[in-house]
Amino acid sequence: MKPTIRPARPLFSSGPCAKRPGWTPAVLKDAPIGRSHRSKPGKAKLSQAIEKTRAILGVPKDYHIGIVPASDTGAVELALWNFLGARPVDMLAWESFGSGWITDVVKQLKLANARVMTADYGDIVDLAQVNPDHDVVFTWNGTTSGVRVPHGDWIAKDRAGLTICDATSAVFAQDLPWDKLDVTTFSWQKVLGGEAAHGVLILSPRAVERLESYSPPWPLPKIFRIKKDGRLNAGIFRGETINTPSMLCVEDYLDALGWADGLGGLDALIGRADANLAVLTAWIAERDWVDFLANDAAIRSNTSVCLKIVDPWFTSLDAEAQARIAKAIAGLLDGEGVAFDIGGYRDAPPGLRIWCGATVERADIAALVPWLDWAFAKVKADHAQAA
């Protein structure tokens, strides 16, 4: 039977993600529109965004936080181009974005001393094999695979190398061990539902030491330059951004940070994401047609939750047919107005991906799952009829 209860907000995209509950454009009214980002009000807003980020995430006082261009991608690329090359690097990947960073390091920067470690979608590499004398580049939470790093115990406290962590789908939803992270990046378009195009770069004292003692052999584009006269350009980490930011987006981020603070901060945000995942976990436990792409619960994401279809009818189809079926399920739900943008990532195995981050309401996840059952049954029946 077709369900009768619909999610109040059918927004389950994995980026840009749903705005916080109750959001309206009116929250942008205090944005310094038409003012320079270098004006006193502009700098004050950027500085406020940095310090609120520090407070909610618990970033240590001696770490530097900067707002940089081009979303998380820009922040990661900035990190790769500035910090790598001083020593061998372990490149870890278990989904498409991590694979992209491997391509950049091996084919663009052409680092001959890069050691590549990969795992299939739904799995993770053997983290115990990471060499603490090497730099290491990894995603904390694989947005396109639904796999996350279970903890930071594998990162040595006395490591010689730097840890460069793409944390964009983890930050504000998972507890990050800052003492184990040297270069951390994210975009606020993920867990806090902000607008795109802005990245955040967080540097530990060890990262700053590397930056000031090492210069890579390749030229750096202007938007990657965070060093001035051989030293860290501290202004960038006080809100003096490299290029022009959108003050509307900054205001929107400030609103999201205020909402998060009002909930109770990081613990409350993690709790909301965990509660959303729990709804899917309970539902899947009683279904035989669908399962998590990540089989091991210890590495299962509580934000970008990726699902695979395990019904024997579906698994008997070839890859092209499976992709069509998964796309048809997502399209049917989109057409019904109950779930937008839940198709699996184009490079991932055919399936569904449901964002469960903190801005999504648990009641909407609960309202969604009967529609998933309905859509699968309808597409399966339609396929049988057509055959």
Q: What is the pLDDT along the chain (387 residues), one digit of tens a residue?
A: 999 999 999 999 999 999 999 999 999 999 999 999 999 999 999 999 999 999 999 999 999 999 999 999 999 999 999 999 999 999 999 999 999 999 999 999 999 999 999 999 999 999 999 999 999 999 999 999 999 999 999 999 999 999 999 999 999 999 999 999 999 999 999 999 999 899 999 999 999 999 999 999 999 999 999 999 999 999 999 999 999 999 999 999 999 999 999 999 999 999 999 999 999 999 999 999 999 999 999 999 999 999 999 999 999 999 999 999 999 999 999 999 999 999 999 889 999 999 999 999 999 999 999 999 999 999 999 999 987
Rounded to whole angstroms, how far apart are CA atoms 67 and 49? 9
Kindly tell me the burial class for residue 197, based on how many C-beta atoms sit within 10 Å of its own C-beta (0-12, 13-18, 19 or more).
middle
**C-alpha count within 13 angstroms, C-beta hemisphere, residue 34:** 2
CB burial of residue 223 (10 Å; 0-12, 13-18, 19+): middle
Residue carrying the six token digits 């990050």: 176
- Give residue 196's pLDDT: 86
Rounded distance between C-alpha atoms, residue 277 and residue 303, angstroms: 8
Domains annotated for the chain, with CATH where assigned, are 25-261 (3.40.640.10), 264-386 (3.90.1150.10)
What's the pLDDT score for residue 277? Answer: 98
DSSP state letter for 125: -
Write down the pLDDT at residue 387. 77
Question: Which stretches of 286-361 are DSSP H helices?
Answer: 312-315, 319-336
Helix, strand, coil % over all residues of the chain, rounded to 5: 40, 15, 45
Q: Can you read off the two tokens belonging to residue 318?
A: 């070839």
Task: State the Cα–Cα distance between residues 29 and 163, nearest whole angstrom.
Answer: 39
> CA dist 121 to 91, 143, 147, 148, 274, Å?
16, 11, 8, 11, 22
d(CA 254, CA 50): 9
pTM: 0.97
* Alpha helix ranges (H) inside 32-171: 40-57, 71-83, 96-103
Tokens 């927004």, residue?
11
Helices 266-285 and 362-386, interaxial angle, to 10°?
30
